[in-house]
Structure 1
Amino acid sequence: MGVFGSTVPVITLGSISKRWMVPGWRLGWLVTSDPTGLLQKCGIADSIKSALNPAPFSPTFIQVKLNLSLLEDIEDDMEFCLKLAKEESLVILPGVTVGLKNWLRITFSVEQSSLEDGLGRLRSFCGRHAKKP
């Protein structure tokens, strides 16, 4: 994207934890291409620096094996996650995105009330899609 820096300022954001799937490592970077100094002149660079929190952030997550034999009308982890998002507005990462088919990656780095709400939505979803005896 730096090629466009001669026309407009460009800010590129990168992260090792997302691009290289290294959970727990919070190493990221910002690169600017701004030959005219517009980002500096407008105070954008300083605003970005002040918004960054130097304190370490350690998200908690768990990988869970999805037992499809207990569910009806769900073929795999991707379908599970898509239906969950549509029906409950709850987003869970399907394991297939990190090479673990039919696993789920559930992140717990939210406030307690949000976590309780999300787990309640997950429970409701699973109840609706459980195989009937």
Structure 2
Amino acid sequence: QEVFLQVWSLAGQYDATKASPIGWLMMLTHRRAVDRVRAEQSATRRDIVFGHAHLGRDHDVVAEEVTQRLDEQSVLDCLQTMTELQRQAVALAYYGGRTYLEVSETLAVPLPTVKSRIKDGLKRLENCLTGGNTR
């Protein structure tokens, strides 16, 4: 559509000695297509450059790191409120990635006991982390 408008407005400049009408039309179409591709590429590059220059971080990395370390220390402190058996079962299941059955086999205790230890240990951990009663 843009090419036909261009042909209409430039019709007086058409020179039959340089190109046939279809050749002239194809040349204008090719130029318009190349211009469009270049404009899109240029716009994309501008967007990327602008994004890198102006968008930066949307969060405070240092504060995030400090918060993460404080949270980790709180969990470690609260793990100390568990009994040794609870701590072992929770550590194997959540830090070791083992199933309840695997924890049961590793600790050589019945599966229901492992489930109880983990449940009680997690409840104790929750209470400690939320400021509730740890016993």
Alignment TM class, shorter chain as reference: under 0.3
Larger radius of gyration: 2
Greater strand proportion? 1
Greater helix proportion? 2
Q: TM-score, normalised by structure 1?
A: 0.27
Q: TM-score, normalised by structure 2?
A: 0.26
